[in-house]
Amino acid sequence: MHKILIAGSIAFDRIMDFPGTFKEHMVADKAHVLSVSFVLDSMKDNKGGTAANIAHSLALLGEQPILMASVGSDSTAYIEELRKRGIDVSALQICSDVGTATGHIMTDTENNQISAFYPGAMSTVYAAPLPAADLCIVAPTNKVDMLRLARESGEKNIPLFFDPGQMTPALSGDELKQCVEGAAVVLCNDYEWGLIQEKTGWSEKEVLKYATALVITLGAHGSRIVTKQAEETVPALTVAAVDPTGAGDAYRAGFAYGFLRSWPLVRCAQLGSVTASFAVEVYGTQAHTPSRLDIEKRMHAQYRTGLDF
């Protein structure tokens, strides 16, 4: 078992389904007076947040990740649930005067999403320093924490996974560069990679002057793993998808599991795809509960290889 630090959000998610496509309701030359309303098919409240989602899938794989995040006074039951799943919650910072972060996520029939996010306790700067660890994953949270923890991981020689996610628009080009320069692996989706390029002016080649790998997820089209030596694409698994929310976080958990065992990066991505496949089969970001054996069986069936214990 490895010591994995995960900094990011812990949140309550309200996940909603729209039985049409967003683009049908958008008028290109009226964006300056945008006023749209969507009638939903369903709405469910779930426990989520980038850090907790990644930790959930790592725990399914047999790890005991350590959450480094701020939560509100309404988080007692959520914290206890995380603890029961084998996640280390001892380093959480509890803010008694504010609620836990809350996300509202609406998905259309083409799996496009519109989100609104109230940061709540996530806006509170996390006070504790990074302890020694085998890996630090810096996922979307407040900007101050992301920059400090990315810097501290470098100072303490802890391999860093930098995952700017939904915070990519909020980070300046210089701030993104600062985090990339200290990262072992940079993870983002295709849209976020476009923003990173635009803000930093860096190409893939320039990112790889610092990072070992650039991993770009492509939704249903899988992921690209780019290194100095090569580029490979790993397809997503074909499953009966119910809800894509949280699939990227599950992918990151699988990738981190393989990375810590020095697997070839393509194999890390394959486990990421397998882990993500369980997440999309159910509604919610932490509703998938396959056993470690279930994950290994699917990994072997897809790629003729299992997990290294």
Tens of pLDDT, residue by residue over 221-275, are 999 999 999 999 999 999 998 888 899 999 999 999 999 999 999 999 999 999 9
Provide the b/e sequence for 82-91 (b: ≥16 CB within 10 Å): beeebbbbeb
Mean pLDDT, residues 4-33: 88
pLDDT of residue 116: 87
Look up the pTM and report it: 0.89
Question: What is the domain range of residue 275?
Answer: 4-20+43-303
Catalytic sites, residue numbers: 249
Is the pLDDT at 308 greater than 90? The verdict is no
Task: Report the phi/psi class of residue 261: left, alpha or beta, with left for phi > 0 and alpha for psi in -120 to 50.
Answer: alpha
- Going by the DSSP 8-state scheme, the letter that residue 206 receives in this structure is H
Half-sphere exposure of 105 (CA within 13 A, CB side): 25
28 falls within a domain = no
Is the pLDDT at 286 greater than 80? The verdict is yes
Question: Which of 122, 212, 199, 196 is CA-nearest to residue 161?
Answer: 212
30 falls within a domain = no
Please report, for the domain that includes residue 265, its CATH number. Answer: 3.40.1190.20
Contacts (Cβ under 8 Å, ≥6 apart) of 168: 176, 188, 192, 195, 196, 199
pLDDT of residue 26: 82
Integer Cα distance of 139 and 146 in angstroms: 7
pLDDT of residue 15: 84
Is the pLDDT at 94 greater than 80? The verdict is yes
Give the H/E segment covering residue 7.
Answer: strand 4-7
Question: Which of 164, 300, 277 is CA-nearest to residue 219?
Answer: 277
27 falls within a domain = no
How does pLDDT run across 28-80, given as a tens digit for each residue?
A: 777 777 888 899 998 888 899 999 999 999 999 999 999 999 999 999 999 99
Angle of CA points 181, 195, 23, to nearest 5°: 155
pLDDT band with cut points at 50, 70 and 90 for residue 24: confident
The structural domain count of the chain equals 1
pLDDT band with cut points at 50, 70 and 90 for residue 115: confident
38 falls within a domain = no
309 falls within a domain = no
Three-state secondary structure of 38-88 = CCCCEEEEEEECHHHHHHHHHHHCCCCCEEECEEECCCHHHHHHHHHCCCE
Within 110-197, strands assigned E span 113-118, 135-138, 160-162, 185-189
Tokens 């210089």 -> residue: 174
71 falls within a domain = yes
pLDDT band with cut points at 50, 70 and 90 for residue 95: very high
72 falls within a domain = yes
Mean pLDDT, residues 174-202: 97
36 falls within a domain = no
Question: Which of 53, 261, 254 is CA-nearest to residue 159?
Answer: 261
